């Protein structure tokens, strides 16, 4: 009975890690695609290295490597791989919890930093003339998707207001611009999705704890079986 349960646990762990591996490959591929086709430099020049493409690329690499270790360790019943898988999951959970705590503790400072960086990006987009279309395309995308204009309002653009700020009567003297700035819109969007983000982090931590429990259970079973050569 116990052997059957352990075998079921082993193949369940293999299947779960194989699915995570496929998801990691998909995220990695999507990150590479975004990095090649989308360049977010004019919007946030200082935070350009932390854009979504880089984050997806790093997340895909981490998910792929960790899930591969878990899959191979469970399939081969290798104690070294299982222990490495356990430690990596533990470190990832610590990093996630630390990042969540830092975001809560330094929420004001992060908001100020993002505002300053957006200001630099907007000034860069306004100051360029040769590639103005390319540089403002990122702002156009954000302003159209979030229904906002500038950082605080349309006055941030001065006399170079892009068409994406227009709401009504774009080609008439009575033109109407989008009333809200992108900064407050982004803040409201984050606040509206705060609960969803928190629940996602909790679910992710629960999955990681289950993965650690499965890995340690198999590790202890292999140790009791006397398979010392697999260390």
Interval 173-221: pLDDT, tens: 777 888 888 888 888 877 777 778 778 888 888 888 988 998 988 888 8
Interval 74-126: pLDDT, tens: 888 888 999 999 999 999 989 888 888 888 788 778 778 878 878 887 877 77
Higher pLDDT pick, 34 / 22: 22
The predicted model gives 53-62 an average pLDDT of: 82
So what's the pLDDT on residue 43?
Answer: 58
So what's the pLDDT on residue 2?
Answer: 58
Q: What tokens does 110 get? A: 């992060």
So what's the pLDDT on residue 48?
Answer: 53
So what's the pLDDT on residue 127?
Answer: 66
Which residue(s) pair with 222 in the sheet? none
Among residues 194, 177, 120, the alpha carbon closest in space to that of 143 is found at: 177
Give the rounded percent of residues in the chain with a pLDDT score beyond 90: 12
Reply yes or no on whether the pLDDT at 231 is more than 70: no
Reply yes or no on whether the pLDDT at 136 is more than 60: no
So what's the pLDDT on residue 103?
Answer: 80
Interval 83-92: pLDDT, tens: 999 999 999 9
So what's the pLDDT on residue 132?
Answer: 46
Higher pLDDT pick, 167 / 19: 19
Q: Rounded CA gap, 205 and 37, in Å?
A: 32
Reply yes or no on whether the pLDDT at 39 is more than 60: no
Domain ranges of the chain: 2-108+192-230, 120-127+135-186
Q: Rounded CA gap, 29 and 16, in Å?
A: 20
Give the rounded percent of residues in the chain with a pLDDT score beyond 70: 83
Q: Rounded CA gap, 77 and 231, in Å?
A: 10
Q: b vs e for 110-149, b when ≥16 Cβ sit within 10 Å of the residue's Cβ?
A: eeeebeebbebbbeebbeeeeeeeebbbbbeebbbebebb
State the CATH class of domain 120-127+135-186.
mainly alpha
CB 45 within 8 A of CB 121: yes
- The alpha carbon torsion through 186, 201, 68, 71 (nearest 10 deg) reads -150
- What is the value of pTM for the model shown? 0.75
Per-residue confidence at 229, pLDDT binned at 50, 70, 90?
very low
Q: What tokens does 189 get? A: 């969007």
Interval 140-178: pLDDT, tens: 878 888 888 888 888 888 887 888 888 777 777 777 888
């Amino acid at each position: 009975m116990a052997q059957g349960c352990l075998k079921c646990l082993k193949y369940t762990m293999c299947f779960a890690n194989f699915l995570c591996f496929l998801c990691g490959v998909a995220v990695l591929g999507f990150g590479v695609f975004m990095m090649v086709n989308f360049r977010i430099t004019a919007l946030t020049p200082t935070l350009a290295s932390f854009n979504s493409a880089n984050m997806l690329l790093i997340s895909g690499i981490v998910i792929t490597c960790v899930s591969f270790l878990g899959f191979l360790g469970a399939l081969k019943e290798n104690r070294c791989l299982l222990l490495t898988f356990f430690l990596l999951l533990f470190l990832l959970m610590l990093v996630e919890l630390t990042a969540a705590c830092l975001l809560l503790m330094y929420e004001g400072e992060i908001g100020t930093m993002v505002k300053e960086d957006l200001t630099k990006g907007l000034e860069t987009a306004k100051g360029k003339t040769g590639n103005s279309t390319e540089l403002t395309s990122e702002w156009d995308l954000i302003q159209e998707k979030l229904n906002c204009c500038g950082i605080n309002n349309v006055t941030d653009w001065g006399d170079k207001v892009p068409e994406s700020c227009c709401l009504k009567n774009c080609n008439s003297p009575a033109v109407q611009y989008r009333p809200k700035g992108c900064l407050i819109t982004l803040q409201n969007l984050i606040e509206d999705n705060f609960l969803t983000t928190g629940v996602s982090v909790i679910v992710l931590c629960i999955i990681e704890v289950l993965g650690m429990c499965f890995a340690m259970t198999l590790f202890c079973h292999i140790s009791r079986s006397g398979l010392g050569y697999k260390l």
